[in-house]
Amino acid sequence: MSRSQRPQRHWGIHHGRWAAIPLGFVLVWLITPAESSWKQAATWQRLAEPGSLSASHAHLENNCAACHTSVTGVETSKCIACHANNESLLQRQPTSFHASISSCTECHLEHRGWGERPTNMDHEALADIGMRQLMQGAGDTENHGLGAQLDSWSDRGAAPHMHISLKEATLNCATCHANDDRHFQLFGHDCAQCHATDRWTIPEFQHPSATSKDCAQCHQAPPSHYMMHFKMISARVAGKPHARVDQCFQCHQTTSWNDILGAGLYKHH
Protein backbone atom coordinates (compact mmCIF):
# COMPACT_ATOMS: atom_id res chain seq x y z
CA MET A 1 0.00 0.00 0.00
CA SER A 2 1.35 3.35 -0.98
CA ARG A 3 1.93 6.16 1.49
CA SER A 4 -0.52 8.37 -0.42
CA GLN A 5 -3.36 5.97 0.47
CA ARG A 6 -2.77 6.04 4.23
CA PRO A 7 -4.21 9.55 4.89
CA GLN A 8 -7.34 8.52 3.03
CA ARG A 9 -7.81 5.44 5.25
CA HIS A 10 -7.02 7.49 8.34
CA TRP A 11 -9.59 10.15 7.30
CA GLY A 12 -12.20 7.50 6.56
CA ILE A 13 -11.92 6.02 10.08
CA HIS A 14 -12.38 9.40 11.73
CA HIS A 15 -15.15 10.29 9.32
CA GLY A 16 -17.04 7.15 10.32
CA ARG A 17 -16.70 8.01 14.00
CA TRP A 18 -18.01 11.54 13.47
CA ALA A 19 -20.90 10.29 11.36
CA ALA A 20 -22.03 8.05 14.22
CA ILE A 21 -22.12 10.91 16.72
CA PRO A 22 -25.35 12.61 15.50
CA LEU A 23 -27.17 9.25 15.45
CA GLY A 24 -25.93 8.45 18.93
CA PHE A 25 -26.97 11.89 20.14
CA VAL A 26 -30.51 11.36 18.83
CA LEU A 27 -30.75 7.91 20.47
CA VAL A 28 -29.59 9.28 23.82
CA TRP A 29 -32.04 12.18 23.49
CA LEU A 30 -34.92 9.80 22.76
CA ILE A 31 -34.24 7.61 25.80
CA THR A 32 -33.85 10.54 28.16
CA PRO A 33 -35.77 9.95 31.43
CA ALA A 34 -39.43 11.00 31.56
CA GLU A 35 -38.81 13.89 33.95
CA SER A 36 -37.26 15.89 31.10
CA SER A 37 -40.02 15.10 28.59
CA TRP A 38 -41.34 18.67 28.88
CA LYS A 39 -37.94 19.89 27.73
CA GLN A 40 -38.16 17.60 24.71
CA ALA A 41 -41.62 18.92 23.86
CA ALA A 42 -40.43 22.49 24.19
CA THR A 43 -37.52 21.70 21.85
CA TRP A 44 -39.79 20.25 19.18
CA GLN A 45 -42.12 23.24 19.53
CA ARG A 46 -39.26 25.66 18.98
CA LEU A 47 -38.21 23.73 15.86
CA ALA A 48 -41.73 24.00 14.40
CA GLU A 49 -42.57 27.54 15.57
CA PRO A 50 -43.21 29.86 12.60
CA GLY A 51 -42.29 32.99 14.57
CA SER A 52 -42.35 34.66 17.97
CA LEU A 53 -45.67 35.40 19.65
CA SER A 54 -46.84 38.91 20.46
CA ALA A 55 -46.14 40.43 23.87
CA SER A 56 -49.67 39.67 25.08
CA HIS A 57 -49.31 35.96 24.30
CA ALA A 58 -45.59 35.61 25.04
CA HIS A 59 -46.32 33.53 28.16
CA LEU A 60 -47.61 30.77 25.84
CA GLU A 61 -44.36 30.46 23.85
CA ASN A 62 -43.74 26.90 25.10
CA ASN A 63 -47.36 25.78 25.23
CA CYS A 64 -48.62 25.34 21.66
CA ALA A 65 -51.54 23.21 22.85
CA ALA A 66 -53.03 26.24 24.61
CA CYS A 67 -54.21 27.48 21.19
CA HIS A 68 -53.52 24.71 18.67
CA THR A 69 -55.07 21.29 18.22
CA SER A 70 -53.33 18.62 16.16
CA VAL A 71 -54.53 18.52 12.54
CA THR A 72 -57.37 20.99 13.31
CA GLY A 73 -55.22 24.02 14.08
CA VAL A 74 -56.35 27.00 16.18
CA GLU A 75 -59.83 26.47 17.63
CA THR A 76 -62.18 29.29 18.60
CA SER A 77 -63.18 27.45 21.77
CA LYS A 78 -59.64 27.79 23.11
CA CYS A 79 -59.63 31.53 22.45
CA ILE A 80 -62.95 31.84 24.28
CA ALA A 81 -61.63 29.87 27.25
CA CYS A 82 -59.13 32.66 27.94
CA HIS A 83 -61.09 35.73 26.82
CA ALA A 84 -64.69 34.93 27.78
CA ASN A 85 -64.46 37.03 30.96
CA ASN A 86 -62.89 40.06 29.31
CA GLU A 87 -65.55 42.57 30.38
CA SER A 88 -63.83 45.57 28.82
CA LEU A 89 -63.94 43.79 25.45
CA LEU A 90 -67.51 42.50 25.64
CA GLN A 91 -69.17 45.52 27.22
CA ARG A 92 -67.64 48.32 25.13
CA GLN A 93 -69.87 49.24 22.21
CA PRO A 94 -67.14 49.12 19.50
CA THR A 95 -66.03 45.58 20.48
CA SER A 96 -69.17 44.00 21.95
CA PHE A 97 -69.75 42.04 18.72
CA HIS A 98 -67.10 39.58 19.93
CA ALA A 99 -69.75 38.03 22.20
CA SER A 100 -71.41 36.38 19.19
CA ILE A 101 -68.52 35.88 16.80
CA SER A 102 -67.73 32.34 15.68
CA SER A 103 -64.17 32.71 14.44
CA CYS A 104 -61.06 34.55 15.61
CA THR A 105 -58.14 33.76 13.33
CA GLU A 106 -59.32 35.90 10.40
CA CYS A 107 -58.58 39.11 12.31
CA HIS A 108 -56.25 37.95 15.08
CA LEU A 109 -52.91 36.88 13.62
CA GLU A 110 -50.06 35.54 15.71
CA HIS A 111 -46.40 34.55 15.34
CA ARG A 112 -45.53 37.94 13.80
CA GLY A 113 -43.15 39.01 16.55
CA TRP A 114 -43.05 40.51 20.03
CA GLY A 115 -43.72 44.08 18.91
CA GLU A 116 -46.75 43.32 16.70
CA ARG A 117 -50.32 43.53 18.02
CA PRO A 118 -52.25 40.30 17.28
CA THR A 119 -55.11 42.30 15.77
CA ASN A 120 -55.72 43.13 12.14
CA MET A 121 -59.17 44.63 11.63
CA ASP A 122 -60.34 43.14 8.34
CA HIS A 123 -63.90 44.24 7.54
CA GLU A 124 -64.16 41.85 4.60
CA ALA A 125 -63.19 38.94 6.85
CA LEU A 126 -65.78 40.11 9.37
CA ALA A 127 -68.40 40.17 6.61
CA ASP A 128 -67.42 36.63 5.61
CA ILE A 129 -67.83 35.43 9.18
CA GLY A 130 -71.21 37.13 9.48
CA MET A 131 -72.44 35.71 6.18
CA ARG A 132 -71.29 32.23 7.20
CA GLN A 133 -73.13 32.47 10.51
CA LEU A 134 -76.28 33.74 8.80
CA MET A 135 -76.19 30.92 6.26
CA GLN A 136 -75.79 28.36 9.01
CA GLY A 137 -78.79 29.77 10.86
CA ALA A 138 -80.96 30.64 7.84
CA GLY A 139 -83.22 27.67 8.51
CA ASP A 140 -83.81 28.43 12.20
CA THR A 141 -87.15 29.88 13.26
CA GLU A 142 -85.29 32.68 15.07
CA ASN A 143 -83.65 33.65 11.79
CA HIS A 144 -86.73 33.39 9.59
CA GLY A 145 -86.31 35.33 6.37
CA LEU A 146 -82.52 35.46 6.47
CA GLY A 147 -82.31 33.43 3.27
CA ALA A 148 -84.21 36.10 1.34
CA GLN A 149 -82.11 38.80 2.97
CA LEU A 150 -78.90 37.07 1.90
CA ASP A 151 -80.23 36.72 -1.63
CA SER A 152 -81.00 40.44 -1.77
CA TRP A 153 -77.48 41.25 -0.63
CA SER A 154 -75.96 38.97 -3.25
CA ASP A 155 -78.08 40.67 -5.95
CA ARG A 156 -76.58 44.11 -5.31
CA GLY A 157 -74.95 45.25 -8.50
CA ALA A 158 -72.11 47.33 -7.06
CA ALA A 159 -70.76 48.88 -3.89
CA PRO A 160 -72.00 52.39 -2.95
CA HIS A 161 -68.66 53.97 -3.92
CA MET A 162 -65.15 53.07 -5.03
CA HIS A 163 -63.59 53.14 -1.54
CA ILE A 164 -65.60 50.23 -0.16
CA SER A 165 -66.25 46.70 -1.38
CA LEU A 166 -69.67 45.16 -1.87
CA LYS A 167 -68.88 42.68 0.88
CA GLU A 168 -67.98 45.43 3.36
CA ALA A 169 -71.16 47.31 2.47
CA THR A 170 -73.26 44.49 3.93
CA LEU A 171 -72.01 45.26 7.46
CA ASN A 172 -74.14 47.21 9.91
CA CYS A 173 -71.65 49.97 10.72
CA ALA A 174 -73.78 51.46 13.50
CA THR A 175 -73.47 48.26 15.53
CA CYS A 176 -69.85 49.15 16.32
CA HIS A 177 -69.58 52.83 15.43
CA ALA A 178 -72.76 54.47 16.73
CA ASN A 179 -70.71 56.35 19.32
CA ASP A 180 -68.59 57.80 16.51
CA ASP A 181 -71.54 59.22 14.61
CA ARG A 182 -70.93 62.97 14.34
CA HIS A 183 -74.09 63.34 12.29
CA PHE A 184 -76.36 62.60 15.28
CA GLN A 185 -78.17 59.99 13.14
CA LEU A 186 -79.33 62.70 10.71
CA PHE A 187 -78.00 60.53 7.87
CA GLY A 188 -79.32 57.25 9.25
CA HIS A 189 -77.22 54.18 10.04
CA ASP A 190 -75.83 53.24 6.64
CA CYS A 191 -72.34 54.71 7.07
CA ALA A 192 -71.05 52.77 4.06
CA GLN A 193 -73.02 55.00 1.71
CA CYS A 194 -70.32 57.65 2.16
CA HIS A 195 -67.49 56.30 4.34
CA ALA A 196 -64.78 53.71 3.74
CA THR A 197 -63.57 51.12 6.25
CA ASP A 198 -59.96 52.32 6.36
CA ARG A 199 -60.72 55.94 7.31
CA TRP A 200 -63.60 58.21 8.35
CA THR A 201 -62.55 61.21 6.26
CA ILE A 202 -63.94 61.65 2.75
CA PRO A 203 -61.26 63.47 0.70
CA GLU A 204 -63.54 64.10 -2.28
CA PHE A 205 -66.36 65.58 -0.19
CA GLN A 206 -67.47 68.99 -1.45
CA HIS A 207 -69.43 71.22 0.89
CA PRO A 208 -72.63 72.72 -0.61
CA SER A 209 -72.56 76.34 -1.74
CA ALA A 210 -72.03 78.98 0.91
CA THR A 211 -75.37 80.44 -0.15
CA SER A 212 -77.22 77.24 0.76
CA LYS A 213 -79.93 77.63 3.39
CA ASP A 214 -80.41 73.93 4.18
CA CYS A 215 -77.64 73.61 6.79
CA ALA A 216 -79.98 72.05 9.37
CA GLN A 217 -80.41 68.98 7.17
CA CYS A 218 -76.89 67.92 8.07
CA HIS A 219 -75.87 70.00 11.07
CA GLN A 220 -77.36 70.09 14.53
CA ALA A 221 -76.90 73.16 16.72
CA PRO A 222 -75.03 72.84 20.03
CA PRO A 223 -77.00 72.66 23.30
CA SER A 224 -76.20 76.31 24.12
CA HIS A 225 -78.24 77.41 21.08
CA TYR A 226 -81.36 76.05 22.73
CA MET A 227 -80.81 78.13 25.87
CA MET A 228 -80.88 81.85 26.70
CA HIS A 229 -77.21 81.93 25.70
CA PHE A 230 -78.22 82.00 22.02
CA LYS A 231 -80.30 85.23 22.17
CA MET A 232 -78.16 86.96 24.81
CA ILE A 233 -74.71 86.34 23.28
CA SER A 234 -74.52 84.26 20.07
CA ALA A 235 -77.10 86.16 18.01
CA ARG A 236 -75.90 89.55 19.27
CA VAL A 237 -72.24 88.85 18.44
CA ALA A 238 -73.28 87.90 14.91
CA GLY A 239 -75.48 91.00 14.63
CA LYS A 240 -78.54 88.83 13.94
CA PRO A 241 -80.76 89.28 17.02
CA HIS A 242 -83.80 87.85 15.24
CA ALA A 243 -82.13 84.74 13.74
CA ARG A 244 -83.63 81.34 14.53
CA VAL A 245 -81.59 78.36 15.68
CA ASP A 246 -82.26 76.45 12.44
CA GLN A 247 -81.04 79.38 10.30
CA CYS A 248 -77.32 78.55 10.46
CA PHE A 249 -76.63 80.53 7.28
CA GLN A 250 -77.61 83.78 9.05
CA CYS A 251 -74.47 83.69 11.24
CA HIS A 252 -72.09 80.94 10.12
CA GLN A 253 -69.84 80.47 7.11
CA THR A 254 -68.90 77.14 5.49
CA THR A 255 -65.16 77.65 6.12
CA SER A 256 -65.59 76.95 9.85
CA TRP A 257 -68.32 76.94 12.46
CA ASN A 258 -66.40 79.62 14.34
CA ASP A 259 -66.12 81.84 11.25
CA ILE A 260 -69.01 84.20 12.00
CA LEU A 261 -70.36 86.56 9.34
CA GLY A 262 -69.34 90.12 10.15
CA ALA A 263 -67.30 89.06 13.21
CA GLY A 264 -64.62 86.67 11.91
CA LEU A 265 -63.31 83.75 13.96
CA TYR A 266 -65.11 83.80 17.28
CA LYS A 267 -65.23 80.94 19.78
CA HIS A 268 -67.30 81.38 22.92
CA HIS A 269 -68.50 77.84 23.77
- Lowest mean pLDDT: which of 129-133, 182-186, 256-260? 182-186
Q: Which residue type does 122 have?
A: D
Cβ atoms of 127 and 168 closer than 8 Å: yes
pLDDT score at 265: 87
- Total residues found in the chain within this entry: 269
Q: What percent of the chain has pLDDT over 90?
A: 25
C-alpha closest to that of 177 among 94, 66, 90, 76? 94
At 141, the pLDDT band (50, 70, 90 cuts) reads low
How confident is the model over 13-70, as pLDDT tens digits? 344 444 444 544 444 444 555 445 555 555 666 667 788 999 999 999 889 899 999 8
Cβ atoms of 108 and 120 closer than 8 Å: yes
How confident is the model over 227-243, as pLDDT tens digits? 998 999 899 989 999 99
Higher-pLDDT residue of 37, 140: 140
C-alpha closest to that of 215 among 173, 249, 265? 249
